[in-house]
Amino acid sequence: MLMVNSLHAIFHAIANVQNEQELRLALTDKIGEHFGVQNWGIYLLDDRPTTQIDVQGIPAVCLESNPVGRYVVERHAPAHEQLLLSPGDWKHFCSRSDHEHVMTGPIVCDGRLVGTLNLARDKGNPAFNGNDLADLSALCIHLSAKMATLRTTKPQISNSLLVNPLTARELEIAELVAQGLTNSEIGEKLWITQNSVKQALKRMFRKLKVSARAEMVAKLQDIKVS
């Protein structure tokens, strides 16, 4: 009953989210507690068309072109490594001890993949099982429905939105920059590569017409104040 209650608590948290930026914050403690994972992340694809999506663009599980990521991209269905591979074979694709076992599920909106929910357990922890997969599948249904609602609801236009050109993903990166995290640390937090963080920062600098991280943080603080 406790596991069912914790899953329903996650559903409730998703239902109360007001925007995409709030998703991770709303689920921060609940996901880890329910699934017994040490690492997890929500990765959104920033409205890129399906034709531009490939496994390399979804850092759901360690290395590029891995079978778990490819399964989720191709089938829009959740999977863990032992669903697709023999025990031990996953480590041929990923050597990270904090990704000893992985499970990934799709976030779907308007018939296309718009993101993934990614879970990982450290070395020494049990592999994901059928119950975990069923819970992830239910969770992805709620996330997908919420994303559809958020992306079809006409946002209230405010002065801050008019002057802030950054996307939801870029705002996440900016917040982590403000906390003093390095590109590598930001990549780990958001489940993206260090190079992806670097390229995103370049775009953000251009949009905000700044040339340094501190200058970017200061400008975004000014926008919030105004």
Are residue 208 and residue 138 in the same domain, yes or no?
Answer: no
- List the structure tokens of 192: 């993206």
- Domain of 140, CATH number, reads 3.30.450.40
| In a shared domain, residues 166 and 210 | yes
> pLDDT > 90: what percent of the chain?
28
What CATH code is carried by the domain that includes residue 219?
Answer: 1.10.10.10
Residue 214's contacts (CB-CB under 8 Å, 6 or more residues apart) are none
**Co-location of 6 and 86 in the same domain:** yes
* 52 & 114 share domain: yes
Q: Please say if the pLDDT value at position 50 is more than 60.
A: no
* Residue range 83-121, pLDDT digits in tens: 999 888 888 877 778 888 999 999 998 888 888 898 999
Whether residues 163 and 219 fall in one domain: yes
Residues 90, 39 share a domain: yes
User: Within the chain, where are the H helices?
Assistant: 2-15, 22-35, 67-75, 81-84, 130-152, 159-163, 168-178, 183-190, 194-208, 213-225
Last residue of a domain, one of 88, 121, 152: 152
Do 139 and 190 fall into the same domain? no
Q: Do 52 and 134 lie in a common domain? A: yes
Residue 158 has pLDDT above 80, yes or no: no
* Domains of the chain: total: 2
Token representation of residue 60: 């759901």
Per-residue pLDDT tens over the stretch 52-84: 333 334 444 443 468 888 888 889 999 999 999
Give the residue numbers spanning the domain of 93.
2-152
Do 166 and 130 sit in the same domain of this protein?
no
Query: Do residues 46 and 135 both lie within one domain?
Result: yes
Residues 69 and 119 in one domain: yes
Contact call for residues 144 and 117 (beta carbons, < 8 A) = no
